[in-house]
């Protein structure tokens, strides 16, 4: 039986990591779960992550950045995600193609169309079965992350992050995703995600 592919998406500091870790803890005794993240998730993809996020790479062009995210994803999909899905596992992934649409498409201004095109190639068209889109209702907390040091993307400036937030706002109007109010308490956000998952995971033993 085929597994299921679940992604968590949203702006920096929206609580995706906390909640996806708690979801994993809640489901791990019942399901075989592969918990992973982007950019990263395999040895090669993590090396690409280091390259992208290194603040010393300040001269990296926007197109290079977009292609590196897609390259990291291509390796991750083929080496880890597809084999896990094909062996019936539940794959929980922090960030996927929507992050590239938000950060590179809107944030860097490369446009949604081209970003979708390079990512279709990178993923061979793989789509998540469930996407949780964490809605911060405009309350970005990237500033806190910057205070803690900030990677190359986090320190890209407030206008960049405004465009990223706008992307998530636009994406949340589509019907394809489960919109989660991330301004609620951790317990409430976790409960919303688990309720949706329990209904969907019924078919997986």
Binding residues for ATP: 10-17
- Non-local CB neighbours of 112 within 8 Å, separated by 6+ positions: 101, 105, 106
Q: Would you count residue 99 as binding ligand TMP (CB under 6 A)? A: yes
Q: Which is nearer to ligand TMP, 94 or 201 (CB)?
A: 94
Q: Which is nearer to ligand TMP, 193 or 201 (CB)?
A: 193
Q: Return phi, psi of residue 187, to 5°.
A: -60, -40
Q: Would you count residue 69 as binding ligand TMP (CB under 6 A)? A: yes
Q: Would you count residue 134 as binding ligand TMP (CB under 6 A)? A: no
Q: Contact 12/161 with Cβ under 8 angstroms?
A: yes
Among 6, 12, 33, 90, binds ligand TMP (CB under 6 A): 12
- Residue 179 Cβ vs ligand TMP, minimum distance, rounded to whole Å: 19
What is the Cα–Cα distance from 88 to 191, expressed in whole angstroms?
Answer: 24
Q: Would you count residue 41 as binding ligand TMP (CB under 6 A)? A: no
Identify which range of 26-34, 76-84, 91-99, 131-139 contacts ligand TMP by CB under 6 A. 91-99
DSSP state of 89: P
Q: Return phi, psi of residue 76, to 5°.
A: -65, -45
Q: Which is nearer to ligand TMP, 110 or 201 (CB)?
A: 110
Strand partners, 165: none
**Dihedral sign for Cα atoms in the order 133, 20, 98, 130:** negative
How many residues appear in the chain?
A: 205
DSSP state of 179: E
Among 77, 153, 182, 201, binds ligand TMP (CB under 6 A): 153
Q: Which is nearer to ligand TMP, 65 or 201 (CB)?
A: 65
Q: Which residue ranges make up the site for ligand TMP (CB under 6 A)?
A: 12, 38-39, 69, 94-95, 99-100, 103-104, 153-154
């Amino acid at each position: 039986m085929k597994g299921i592919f679940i992604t968590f998406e949203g702006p920096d500091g929206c609580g995706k990591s906390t909640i996806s870790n708690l979801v994993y803890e809640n489901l791990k005794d019942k399901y075989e779960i592969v918990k992973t993240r982007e950019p990263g998730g395999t040895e090669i993809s993590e090396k690409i992550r280091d390259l992208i996020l290194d603040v010393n790479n300040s001269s990296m062009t926007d197109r290079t950045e977009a292609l590196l995210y897609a390259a990291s994803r291509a390796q991750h999909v083929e080496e880890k995600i597809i084999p896990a899905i094909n062996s019936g596992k539940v794959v929980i992934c922090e960030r996927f193609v929507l992050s590239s649409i938000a950060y590179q498409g809107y944030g860097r201004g490369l446009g949604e169309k081209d970003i979708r095109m390079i990512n279709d190639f990178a993923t061979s068209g793989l789509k998540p079965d469930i996407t949780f889109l964490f809605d911060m209702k405009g309350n970005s907390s990237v500033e806190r992350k910057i205070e803690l040091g900030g990677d190359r993307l986090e320190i890209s400036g407030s206008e960049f992050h405004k465009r990223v937030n706008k992307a998530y706002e636009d994406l949340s109007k589509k019907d394809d995703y489960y919109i989660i109010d991330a301004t609620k308490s951790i317990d409430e956000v976790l409960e919303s995600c688990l309720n949706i998952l329990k209904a969907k995971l019924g078919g997986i033993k």
